[in-house]
Structure 1
Amino acid sequence: MTTRRKFIQGAAVAAPAALATPALAQSTITWRMQTYAGAALAEHVIDPAIEMFNKIAGDRMQIELFYADQIVPTGELFQALQRGTIDAVQSDDDSMASPTEVTVFGGYFPFGSRYSLDVPVLFNQYGLNEIWDEEYSAVGVKHISAGAWDPCHFATKDPIRSLEDLKGKRVFTFPTAGRFMSQFGVVPVNLPWEDIEVAMQTGELDGIAWSGITEDYTVGWADVTNYFLTNNISGAWAGSFFANMDRWNELPEDLQTLFRVCCDQSHYYRQWWYWGGEANLRVNGSKLELTTIPDEEWATVENAALEFWEEIAAESDVKRRVVDIFKQYNSDMLKAGRPYRYT
């Protein structure tokens, strides 16, 4: 296993994604960007946006894209971005260990959203954008925009049909999601993204709670797991695009606008790719058997999430502001009724 890991990581570092124009003018602005995603996933969640940017920007600016852990480990992305080792990043706050008050809300904040459209509405209409901007500006990083990815489900070797079945399961997941699910006996495990498939094969992991079923198939995890739990921890991953503040401020306004537009294109692409992919693979996928924990039992987890929210809110004034927004938003959606929420 160690040999395989070293080989995978060595191969990953060998070359960046081949998206930059081969011959550039001497005046071309060049950025290095690293995503949280490995190559197979990046083909959907970031490659199209950067290819579009490079094509339109031409000799004025080119972005060289690196995949998960190619320059630095994902957990060190923030420090690398702040130092200027990397000029831009695509990640969630939680995975890249941002030293901000909003970090716990990135990735999968337990039951913070039910659908992928919840995330952009929370940021653009309920005030999260302003809070994120304040927090990152204070530490020299530009928060460009946030968007939604897939919901968070368990993919496991053994079937999960009750909360009892979760106990003792060693699961690769996000820091905050792991902290929350540990009360139900889940053992969170932190490993490099590229090591997960090997760790499942060797028995180092019992499961993965890092994505929905689309990613399980796309990145190969459906080949090393047997079951997919239809209950989710959260309805959508919340991730963002970030840039080093100095490098961002150096860009002409039109290139800043172009980068924002390409980020928005990426957010839009993921909305339909994940939404359709999740349904299609549940219905037509042949690799994973679906299992479900009964609603009345899963309600225990949902109720625990509300207590977890209050635990987080008590940690700081900023966290209280964010939790209050989540509470207000979910209350509004429940009052709005179908199709926003089902009682």
Structure 2
Amino acid sequence: MERRKFLQNAGIAGILAAGAAPAVHAQGAPTIRWRLASSFPKALDTIFGAADVFSKTVSEATGGKFTISVHAGGELMPAFGVVDGVQQGTVECAHTAPYYFFGKDDTFAIDCAIPFGLNSRQMTAWMYEGNGMKLLREFYKPYNIVNFPMGNTGAQMGGWYRKEIRSLADIKGLKMRIGGFGGKVLSAIGGVPQNIPGGEIYQALEKGTIDATEWVGPYDDEKLGFVKVAKHYYYPGWWEGGPQLSLYVNQKAYDGLPAEYKAILAAAASHAHIDMQAKYDAKNPAALKRLVSAGAKLHQFDKSIMTAAYQAAMALYSDLSAKNPAWKKVYEDYAAFRDEQHLWFRFTEAGFDNFMQSGRFATTKAAPKKK
């Protein structure tokens, strides 16, 4: 098979296993040095670490000819300045949560997570097998950005609160750090959203500048120390059922890559995409146990809160579809895909998970002991 065609179609494991990296080097491929600006602090080895996994894979697959240095939020530019950085060519690429930038256009949020949206598997399916990648590539073109999925945390927790949230009345006036687009819905049900970078949340919660915060889930939340200043830990994070992180690449920089490097870039991003969620799924259970031991009190959101938030979200999406053509084009396809996925998952994933997480254990505990 022609080498170029092979590299364009092979996964990263195939590239490395087939010894493609030395061959690329031998063919006189150019030496390229890029910089990646992350929106996350280095302390969060899962979410920040995806960029490191990506960079290492690119380097290994090209025999060190294509290297990408990774810089934490604030090193090269502010955590929320990475879109401008990539768009203007200040850096060649960035790793971020697209919903941070809904202020530019609400459509950014769909590339990450919107309240009551797709879960992580469904989001990946929409991006790779549905119309997600095509529609978002069209959306990002005016920003000089080529996007790649690069990580997903899985469904998140509902955050940390200084006091219990028993009903919708307790949301009224609540100052909460909430990432991106979810704040619009929180505001609609009476909360006061605050957009604060990950590295600054603890101090704001400790000082009482905010009453509550969400981040990701147990593993990251433990590292950030939230249990020390807010004991009430709620679930689920209805605003983030499957938040996807993205690699943003400057269009001109991308166009300047050899075809082999473009294929390796895509494969490395895909590898990092899977690696991130694997890490979260593996690390969160033990971290949750440690947080409970440290005093965290687990609560499930009252159904009245979930219902009010859902209704507010649907009203918001309808309003945006009437006002924003870009949103309407992407969201209508996203929503149709979501409905089909729910039709399928209710018979398979949901049924299986419900039994494994409740029925199976209830049956096991109730089973009589053999004499």
Instruction: With the length of structure 2 as denominator, give the TM-score of the two structures.
Output: 0.77
Aligned position for 1:205:
210
Aligned identity (percent) is 18
User: Aligned-pair distance for 1:127?
Assistant: 0.6
**Aligned 8 A contact 1:333 1:340 in 2:** no
> Structure 1: where are the runs of 5+ without partners?
1-26
Residues 320 and 169 of structure 1, relative CA distance in 2, 3 Å threshold: same
Tell me which residue corresponds to 1:326: 334
Tell me the CA shift for residue 48 of structure 1.
2.4
Change (3 A) 1:309 1:56: same
Report the Cα distance in structure 2 between the residues aligned to 1:46 and 1:129, rounded to whole angstroms: 20
Distance of aligned partners of 1:257 and 1:222 in 2 relative to their CA distance in 1, 3 Å threshold: farther
Q: Secondary structure at the match of 1:232?
A: coil
Alignment map for 1:186-197 (pairs within 5 Å): 186-197=191-202
SS at match of 1:102: helix
1:210-268: per-residue Cα shift (whole Å, max 9, x none)? Answer: 32233212333344332211132231112211111111111112122222111111111
SS of residue matched to 1:82: helix
- Mapping of 1:154-193 within 5 angstroms? 154-193=159-198
SS of 2:62's partner is: helix
User: 2:168, 2:304 within 8 Å by CA — same for their partners in 1?
Assistant: no
Q: Quickly say closer, same or farther: Cα 1:63–1:268, change in 2 above 3 A.
A: same
1:75 alignment partner, SS class: helix
Q: What is the deviation of 1:280?
A: 4.2
The one-character-per-residue Cα deviations of 1:287-324 (angstroms, maximum 9, x if unpaired) are 32211123355222223222222122222233122222
Distance 2:94 2:203 in 1: 26
In the TM superposition, 1:1-343 aligns within 5 A as 28-43=31-46, 44-96=49-101, 99-100=104-105, 102-113=107-118, 115-145=119-149, 147-152=151-156, 153-233=158-238, 234-283=240-289, 285=291, 286-287=293-294, 288-336=296-344, 337-341=346-350
Q: Which residue of 2 aligns with 1:21?
A: none
The residue that corresponds to 1:10 in the other structure is none
Q: Distance in 1 between matches of 2:78 and 2:336?
A: 36
Residue pair 1:112, 1:235 contacting (<8 A) in 2 also: yes
Amino acid at match of 1:321: K
Q: Which residue of 2 aligns with 1:7?
A: none
> Secondary structure of 1:95's match?
helix
Aligned-pair CA distance for 1:81: 0.7
SS of structure 1 residue aligned to 2:298: strand
What secondary structure sits across from 1:94 in the alignment? helix
Shift of 1:131: 0.9
Question: Is the 1:102–1:318 Cα contact (8 Å) retained in structure 2?
Answer: yes
In 1, Cα distance between equivalents of 2:150 and 2:96? 10
> Could you tell me how far apart the structure 2 residues matched to 1:190 and 1:100 are?
16
Which has a greater percent of helix? 2
CA offsets, 1:121-144, max 9 Å, x none? 121222111111111123311113
Offset, 1:98: 7.6
Tell me how far 1:95 sits from its aligned partner.
1.3
Cα offsets for 1:3-35 (capped at 9, x unmatched)? xxxxxxxxxxxxxxxxxxxxxxxx631111011
Range 31-40 or range 53-62, more displaced: 53-62
Unaligned segments of structure 2, at least 5 residues: 1-29, 355-371
Matched-pair contact (CA < 8 Å) for 1:74–1:95: no
Equivalent-residue separation in structure 2 for 1:61 and 1:220 (angstroms): 37
Letter in structure 2 aligned against 1:226:
K
Query: 1:8 maps to which residue?
Result: none
Q: Would you say how many aligned residue pairs link Structure 1 and Structure 2?
A: 316
**Larger-gyration structure (1/2):** 2
Identify if the C-alpha distance between structure 1 residues 206 and 297 changes in structure 2 by more than 3 Å, giving closer, same or farther.
closer
What one-letter code is carried by the residue in structure 2 that aligns with 1:46? A
Q: CA deviation at 1:101?
A: 6.0
Give yes or no for contact 2:132–2:334 (8 Å, CA) kept in 1.
no
Q: Secondary structure at the residue paired with 2:329?
A: helix
* Equivalent position of 1:16 in the other structure: none
2:44 alignment partner, SS class: helix
C-alpha displacement at 1:90, in angstroms? 0.8
CA drift of 1:209 comes to: 2.3
User: Whole-Å Cα distance in 2 between the matches of residues 317 and 255 of structure 1?
Assistant: 34
Q: 1:136 to 1:215 in 2, by over 3 A?
A: same
Contact kept in structure 2, 1:119 and 1:147, CA below 8 Å: no
